[in-house]
Structure 1
């Protein structure tokens, strides 16, 4: 049986935190909010509890988990040989949505790391998450609190729909702040390598480091890695049940919408369809007679708004009964790189339009 514990996101109820910490210490599973998405947590030291995370999510065992800590002392319990560049980023970005790949401390079971000698670690910037880890007194291993492959959960209600009856407790503290997962950087490489774009733009991380970061094709969502050093590298993620067709186009609002309309018309026989757009282009789709619904992610001039709404909209298309959904693309600058990574990984088909004349 799953209990749902509701609390305020900024000033969490101590009784809720203490109850959830007790469940974790008794080798249970607790879903909780972070500033990015909801996570499904188990104490990182308890191998049996961590294995239950994989089972609850139906997650492949070679897809590593991120360990969440609430202090630098706790960081030193899960990682060893931490390089100076890592501390430079920690000082700038923690608590917050930045995950670092570091050498695994022997105390961390390999089931957490997918059998690797490295570990993914971050300090979340959400009051509920930090207080829960503090109350537990132990690092918490936590992937996103959804069934593997589905869009990540950004509200407690999303977690309830996915994991009710599969976990011990769900802390519902409303909507998360960023709506996409943390940025993951392998700081052990020289130069460092972006493994997953996320809520912190890679440009900001480069500025703090004073050096460029390698952005491989899989970080753009254009390929998959053979070995997963961090979540989101090896397997398809974020997918709605609907068939998502991503139309990549740059240019004026009219040109972008025109390419989506052209793609929808060229794929005859899809029947009733849905569209994911920006607020600037949504009115163009009135010309499509078979549009069931148009969902807007927000304004193209505010990609943080687009990112925050992305997973919510990917779930809404299923709730609306969409079987085929066409999505616009977005600029890959700043957090837009994370948006495009998620859209590409969620897509069943990608259509790349030619450049405007």
Structure 2
């Protein structure tokens, strides 16, 4: 696999039906031409992704949205004006000619405009949108650097466009539109309150448990090879596993190696900044997962808006929730 910053090289591979690693502000994607069914099939095969999971289309301008979607609600345009380019994905009615492989046969297409200069430069140079799920084997930790993609798929894809580390580091918020309301299927960095600021007189509600009509909805997800245990009492959990070699994931704590079983510590944000923690979460999981530990232990995040989102990522990645009275 080539790691390159050449948009022209990436364009050449994509126009020939290839699949490449694509940087975005959220996570890296595994990208192919939305109109090329063979390229779409390659994505599913390389990623080992179930065909029942739809893909997200990535666009550079509104005309590309109109080339793949129809009956677009007016509020979708308002939200795009505010949040695009950025980490908001909208589920829209797909045009009949959009390959069913990209939509999982649901008749809808998830669309977003990534906030990454290389991605936008590439998308602007292409005569077609790109479909791109996260560039990791199905269920594994999402990639936030080109090297993560390289370690997953070397020998399987020809190129990853190297855009550095992902700024947001957390998957996009996914919304849909139903009966003049906005439905949040997956929350990322953009929250319900953010959406209501744009369309204040609109009902906005959650349907997080819906398992079928949005990308990345699988219960088990983002998982490292090393067992991940999340806890609401760090001290008790560390004592419980005192004979294990542990990697510790903490937030805003000055935790030192006071326990002999702590082999490595990664502090997501010494300033207790949840946005900083989000941008570091997957990268630090990758680092700890490479250290041949017995387990990774992570504290639950505060139950704020973004904290709940981050806890959901941990729970989906975890092998156990260590709850203490």
For normalisation by structure 1, the TM-score amounts to 0.86
* Structure 1 residues 108 and 198: alpha-carbon distance in aligned structure 2, compared to 1, 3 A threshold: same
SS of structure 2 residue aligned to 1:124:
coil
- Report 1:249-328 matches (<5 A): 249=232, 259-267=233-241, 271-283=244-256, 286-299=257-270, 301-328=272-299
* Structure 1 residues 165 and 135: alpha-carbon distance in aligned structure 2, compared to 1, 3 A threshold: same
Q: Which runs of 4+ in 1 moved over 6 A?
A: none
Say whether residues 1:135 and 2:121 are aligned partners. Answer: no
1:350, distance to aligned residue in structure 2 (A) = 1.5
In 2, Cα distance between the equivalents of 1:150 and 1:231?
15
Q: Which residue of 2 aligns with 1:230?
A: 214
Number of aligned residues: 324
Q: Contact 1:154–1:312 at 8 Å: present in 2 too?
A: yes
RMSD: 1.7
1:217, distance to aligned residue in structure 2 (A) = 4.9
Q: Contact 2:28–2:143 at 8 Å: present in 1 too?
A: yes
In 2, Cα distance between the equivalents of 1:282 and 1:68?
41
In 2, Cα distance between the equivalents of 1:184 and 1:236?
18
1:351, distance to aligned residue in structure 2 (A) = 2.9
* Structure 1 residues 145 and 164: alpha-carbon distance in aligned structure 2, compared to 1, 3 A threshold: same
* Structure 1 residues 33 and 197: alpha-carbon distance in aligned structure 2, compared to 1, 3 A threshold: same
In 2, Cα distance between the equivalents of 1:72 and 1:94?
10
Q: After alignment, is 156-165 or 199-208 more displaced? A: 199-208
SS of structure 2 residue aligned to 1:187:
strand
* Structure 1 residues 207 and 351: alpha-carbon distance in aligned structure 2, compared to 1, 3 A threshold: farther
Say whether residues 1:213 and 2:230 are aligned partners. Answer: no
SS of structure 1 residue aligned to 2:297:
strand
- Report 1:65-214 matches (<5 A): 65-188=55-178, 190-210=180-200, 211-214=202-205
SS of structure 1 residue aligned to 2:71:
coil
Q: After alignment, is 289-298 or 61-70 more displaced? A: 289-298
Q: After alignment, is 184-193 or 235-244 more displaced? A: 184-193
For normalisation by structure 2, the TM-score amounts to 0.94
1:147, distance to aligned residue in structure 2 (A) = 1.3
Which of 300, 307, 318 does residue 329 from structure 1 map onto?
Answer: 300
